[in-house]
Amino acid sequence: MDSPFGLLAELTYRCPLACPYCSNPLNMAGYQDELATDEWRRVLVEASDLGVLQCHLSGGEPLLRRDLVEIVADAHDLGLYTNLITSALGLSRPRAEQLRAAGLDHVQISIQADEPTVSDRIAGIPSFQRKIEAMGVVKELGWPLTMNVVLHRHNIDRVADVLALAEEVGADRVELANTQYYGWAWRNRDALLPSRAQLEAAEVVVRAARERLRERMDVIYVIPDYYSRYPKPCMGGWASRQLTVTPNGDVLPCPAAQPLPLPRASVREDPLERIWAEAPVMTAFRGTDWMPEPCRSCYRRELDFGGCRCQAFLLTGDAARTDPVCCLSPDHDLVARAVEAANSDSSEDLPLVPRPHRAGLPPVTRPRPGRPGRRSSPC
Mean pLDDT, consecutive 10-residue stretches, the chain (379 aa), reads 90 94 84 95 98 96 97 98 97 97 98 96 95 97 97 96 97 96 92 95 96 94 91 86 96 93 96 96 93 93 92 95 95 96 78 67 39 33
Rounding to the nearest 10 degrees, give the CA dihedral for residues 83, 85, 89, 92: 10
Task: List 286's β-bridge partners, or say none.
Answer: none
- Cβ atoms within 10 Å of 148's Cβ, excluding its own: 19
Angle of helix 196-213 versus helix 159-169 axis, rounded to 10 = 30
Structure confidence at residue 347 (pLDDT): 61
pLDDT digits (tens, 9 = 90+) for 113-171: 999 999 999 999 999 999 999 999 999 999 999 999 999 999 999 999 999 999 999 99
User: Contact at 8 Å (CB) between 60 and 15?
Assistant: yes
Strand order in the sheet with 145-151: 218-222, 173-178, 145-151, 106-110, 81-86, 54-58, 6-10, 242-245, 251-252
Structure confidence at residue 346 (pLDDT): 66
Task: List 176's β-bridge partners, or say none.
Answer: 149, 221
> What backbone phi and psi angles, to 5 degrees, belong to 138?
-60, -45
Structure confidence at residue 353 (pLDDT): 79
Residues in contact with 21: Cβ distance below 8 Å, sequence separation at least 6, in sequence order: 150, 152, 179, 184, 185, 188, 192
Is 254 annotated in a binding site? The answer is no
DSSP 244-297: EE-TTSBEESSTT-TTS-----BTTTS-HHHHHHH-HHHHTTSSSTT--TTTTT
Structure confidence at residue 206 (pLDDT): 97
Is 15 annotated in a binding site? The answer is yes
User: What 3-state DSSP class applies to 62?
Assistant: helix
Q: Where are the domains of the chain?
A: 1-358
pTM: 0.90
Q: Which residues of 201-231 are buried (b: 16+ CB within 10 A; e: fewer)?
A: bbeebbeebeeebeeebebebebbbbbbebb
User: What 3-state DSSP class applies to 207?
Assistant: helix
As assigned by CATH, the class of the 1-358 domain is: alpha beta
Structure confidence at residue 352 (pLDDT): 81
What span, in angstroms and rounded, lies between the C-alpha atoms of 261 and 119?
36
Is 310 annotated in a binding site? The answer is no
